Structure 1
Amino acid sequence: MQPSTFLTWVQETTFAGIPLWSLLVAVAAATATYVAILVALYLITRRAKAWATQSQSGMAMTVVDVLKGTSRTLMLVVALLVGASLLDLPGRWESRLSQLWFVAVALQMGLWGMRAIGIGVRRYVQRHSSTGMTQVSASATLMSWGLRTLLWSVVLLAILSNVGVNITAFIASLGVGGIAVALAVQNILGDLFASLAIAVDKPFEVGDFVVVGSVSGTVQVIGLKTTRIRSLQGEQIVMSNTDLLKQTISNFRMLERRRIVFGFGVTYDTTPEQAEAIPGIVRKLIEAHPQLRFDRAHFKAFGASSLDYEVVYIVEDPAFSVYMDMQQALNLGLMRELKALGVEFAFPTRTVHIASAPVQAPAPAPVPVATASVAEQSVGSR
């Protein structure tokens, strides 16, 4: 077949009402578009890798990882849509092609978002892997589920709106249904979000010693709904995450030193010279221990039954057992020093003064009335 004859045949031949030469042009355009997309992705990925290697940028590596999630199928669909846009199609097909364009782009954006969420959650787990895998896994699962649900909800609503579906009533229905579900499971959702708040804000972590109200112990498990604490008595205490965050939490993990305030009293028999010497004795006892740092010691007040002293010192070791050992050593040393000084510790006493009543003279005895009557009768008879 001669070239002129072939060209004539191509121009005159139609397929499904579309000239064959238009189809060939569309196929060529689709192929060129697909190859161009592949080359562009390769160049962008290569450039981002070089940038990440030079600058050690986490953002560049994220871009590389996200671009690796590009769907080859959607790339082919986009290329075919580019080729189809060159065809002389009826008006209704042109609108359909524009809708397919949006669907393909929206789906690819969703896939990129999914990959970005996965990368972010994975890095979060790696960053906090030393704080207890149970807590990290629970919070990562909750964040991943919530972000993926939000992403695909937005993508789906955008696609439905683009294809001509009225999503206003749909969104309203989702809102009403969401409110109903939220009211039905508000306690569970409250605990779930409280777990997420604990994971993000980190008021405490697994292994920390905490005091919450009347509960004190070591945090063992931080779950999606409850937190479990091993108390000092040995039992495991299960607390709701929501109730836990409503209370004041004392976390001793960051405790570096302890400031101790304690007092004692001596009897009122103590002389001024002895009272003046006591703060110096206390200071000498505290400074004799390298783990303690003296702050102050003062004769504070005249108590009801004692001369009151107040002492403040710092324990450089945060361990509670070290503090108790040091306090015991101070108490014993203070007993020895005060005994050598001739001073006694005071204890609650009360002096009661009893006033004696005045002695009164005895009252005269009354005269019996009956005897007087008998006497009068005797005188009358004489």
Structure 2
Amino acid sequence: MSNASAGNAAAPIFDADALTGQTQGLVTASIAWFHTHWLQILIAVAIGATIVIALHSARRFAGRLAARDPDGRAGWFSIIGRALVRTNNFFILMLSIKLVVGYAGAPDQIGTTVNFLWTIASVFQAAIWVREIVLGAIEHRTQAQNYQGEALLSAMGLIRLLVTFALFAIALVVVLDNLGVNVTGLVAGLGVGGIAIGLAAQGIFADLFAALAIIFDRPFRRGDKVQYDQTLGVIEGIGLKSTRIRSFGGEIRIISNRQLLDKEIQNISNRDHIRVTLTIGVAYETPPDTLERVPQMLREVFEEAGGTVARASFESFGASSLDFVVQFDVPGDDWPTAHATRDKAMVGVIRRFAAEKISIPYPTQTTYTAAPDGTLVMPYAQVQPVQIDRSLAS
């Protein structure tokens, strides 16, 4: 082994002598600075104390603002107030020192130390503020939309963990970068680790982000009546991974949030009317003058039943009838009420057509067969005249 290699191997990782020398230099510079600038230092301390008191007063005011609305329902003022309450004393102290250290003419050693501590305090305090605002916004949205339950608490716990980890990881990288540390390897390691975790739990994260999309985009909420594919029911719960729907048949259908958002969802809770379409046929033997009056008849019958007629018109020439189409609206979103209105109107149509001598035909078909000699066989029995025995009659 060479002497150079031996020297490198023997070099200590942590140089205690260098640290002791820097500390002694800082103390010496501070003593000399105090002797020469004692008046400026006292004034700076007074100004700094005033700034600290003002910042503490502002934090207490933010605490009172947040206390008026502990659940965050009032909006952004309450959310910002809850974030400002999390301002720590170390940040307040470093902010006041940073504002007055230049006035006191501090030496370079003290200025460098203040900048170092200020960087740490400001970056991590910013991370805390951003975390509280993000989480407060999510909680405000979930509470405003009445999303509740154990699943939501679990989702918020996981969201809080992910947001906290991401923001403080970014804050650590920013602090190290400002201190002159090469963070390229650290950033690469965090990126690889994040990719590995994302690939391992991509299904869970996909459903989690879909749940957040439901919360923020609000396609539906608990209690809404929705329809997708062949499922029609009421939303009973929106969980971390899946949504539970109570179908009108009584069973609970469970579908993952990601798959649910990939479908076309019809939210039928807030519609103001139900439109029903009926096709009604009349016989071809109906006189043309009567046919002209049929749309008006249908309109009158359906309006008397409680519907609002959107269209009543001659639609087409059917195989066995002349077809008329009626589209009518029933106020509200209650299907039983719409069905009752439809039934009442259909009975009214039968009564009105009976009064007008209009027949409603039904499809009929007559089948003819042939005998071996080619003659047609009638589909009905040939009726023979009845012979009366006169002798029996007498």
TM category (shorter chain) comes to 0.7 to 0.9
Residue 28 of structure 1, CA deviation: 3.9
Q: Which residue of 2 aligns with 1:35?
A: 49
* Residues 1:211 and 2:211 are matched in the alignment: no
Q: Which residue of 2 aligns with 1:364?
A: none
| Distance verdict in 2 for CA 1:219–1:86, change over 3 Å | same
Q: Which moved more, 1:60-69 or 1:192-201?
A: 60-69
Asked if structure 2 preserves the Cα contact closer than 8 Å seen for 1:135 and 1:199, the reply is: no
Residue 257 of structure 1, CA deviation: 0.6
Question: Which one of the candidate residues 330, 338, 351 is aligned to 2:353?
Answer: 338
Question: Which one of the candidate residues 130, 147, 152 is aligned to 1:113?
Answer: 130
Q: Which residue of 2 aligns with 1:367?
A: none
Asked if structure 2 preserves the Cα contact closer than 8 Å seen for 1:190 and 1:242, the reply is: yes
TM normalised by structure 2 equals 0.72
Q: Deviations over 1:314-345 (max 9, x none)?
A: 21232101110011011111112222322322
Question: Which one of the candidate residues 331, 337, 359 is aligned to 1:322?
Answer: 337
Residue 215 of structure 1, CA deviation: 1.2
Asked if structure 1 preserves the Cα contact closer than 8 Å seen for 2:152 and 2:240, the reply is: no
Q: Which residue of 1 aligns with 2:260?
A: 244
Asked if structure 2 preserves the Cα contact closer than 8 Å seen for 1:305 and 1:350, the reply is: no
Q: Which residue of 1 aligns with 2:280?
A: 264
RMSD: 3.9
Question: Which one of the candidate residues 273, 293, 303 is aligned to 2:318?
Answer: 303
CA–CA distance in structure 2, aligned partners of residues 120 and 79 of structure 1? 30
Residue 123 of structure 1, CA deviation: 3.4
Q: Which residue of 2 aligns with 1:74?
A: 91
CA–CA distance in structure 1, aligned partners of residues 30 and 182 of structure 2? 37
Residue 86 of structure 1, CA deviation: 5.6
| Distance verdict in 2 for CA 1:333–1:69, change over 3 Å | same
CA–CA distance in structure 2, aligned partners of residues 62 and 214 of structure 1? 41
Larger Rg: 1
Asked if structure 2 preserves the Cα contact closer than 8 Å seen for 1:226 and 1:238, the reply is: yes
* Residues 1:294 and 2:309 are matched in the alignment: yes
Structure 2 residue identity aligned to 1:128: Q
Residue 264 of structure 1, CA deviation: 1.6
Residue 139 of structure 1, CA deviation: 6.2
| Distance verdict in 2 for CA 1:31–1:114, change over 3 Å | farther
| Distance verdict in 2 for CA 1:166–1:71, change over 3 Å | same
Structure 1 residue identity aligned to 2:137: G
| Distance verdict in 2 for CA 1:279–1:184, change over 3 Å | same
Asked if structure 1 preserves the Cα contact closer than 8 Å seen for 2:271 and 2:332, the reply is: no
| Distance verdict in 2 for CA 1:325–1:16, change over 3 Å | closer
Structure 2 residue identity aligned to 1:257: H
CA–CA distance in structure 1, aligned partners of residues 295 and 287 of structure 2? 14
Residue 42 of structure 1, CA deviation: 5.9
Asked if structure 2 preserves the Cα contact closer than 8 Å seen for 1:292 and 1:315, the reply is: yes
| Distance verdict in 2 for CA 1:356–1:99, change over 3 Å | same
Residue 346 of structure 1, CA deviation: 1.8
Question: Which one of the candidate residues 89, 101, 109 is aligned to 2:118?
Answer: 101
Please show how residues 53-202 of structure 1 align to structure 2 within 5 Å.
Answer: 65-77=82-94, 95-129=112-146, 132=148, 141=157, 144-202=160-218
Gaps of 5+ in 1: 1-13, 50-56, 360-382
Q: Which moved more, 1:221-230 or 1:68-77?
A: 68-77
Structure 1 residue identity aligned to 2:218: K
How many residues align? The count is: 339
Question: Which one of the candidate residues 232, 237, 252 is aligned to 1:221?
Answer: 237
* Residues 1:348 and 2:363 are matched in the alignment: yes
